[in-house]
Amino acid sequence: MRLFNIYNPKYAGEIQVLYGELQLLRFDCSAAKMDNETMAAFKKVLPVTLTEFLQGKWCSATTNIVEADYEVSFIDFWVAYNKKINKIRAENHFNKLNKMEKIKALNGIKPYEKYLKDNNWRSKADPETYIRNKMWDNEYN
């Protein structure tokens, strides 16, 4: 995942955009002082794909883009995993993961859930078990 901070003289503050491997995952303009018209115009031109974003053809010459260091928080994982059991134990295991493992844990949720849907006889593991067993490394085909 790649996080970018966007600055432009047309508004005070920053806009944050988070891209996954290929597509836009999150857009946050709460730290920017923009009127509704400017916000709507920005949303309209913001590329959906990371490739288009990096090409920079969508922004003006006065726009500054800075890539920020992104780390997956436990709350990001907890919300995405959406099985609310043993939160403290899950958080303890999550905090022992390195940065790349945290990203893989988050990105592995959707393939795991697709596998569960296709194999509805299996039940979803508790979040603690998913983390402890590094279930995102399994090949869910």
Give pLDDT tens digits for 106-120. Answer: 888 988 999 999 999
51 and 31 share a domain?
Answer: yes
Which of the listed residues 36, 68, 100 is the one where a domain comes to its end?
A: 68
**The predicted structure's pLDDT at residue 127:** 97
User: Per-residue confidence at 95, pLDDT binned at 50, 70, 90?
Assistant: very high
Which of the listed residues 14, 42, 68 is the one where a domain comes to its end?
A: 68
Q: pTM for this structure?
A: 0.61
pLDDT at 52 over 70: yes
Q: CA triplet 113, 2, 117: central angle to 5 degrees? A: 5
Which of the listed residues 21, 40, 68 is the one where a domain comes to its end?
A: 68
83 and 49 share a domain?
Answer: no
6 and 63 share a domain?
Answer: yes
86 and 105 share a domain?
Answer: yes
16-49 pLDDT tens trace: 999 987 789 888 888 888 888 888 888 888 998 9
From CA 91, how far away is CA 78, in angstroms rounded? 9
- Give the other-Cβ count within 10 Å of 90's Cβ: 23
Domain range for 91: 74-137
> Would you mind telling me the total number of residues written for the chain in this entry?
141
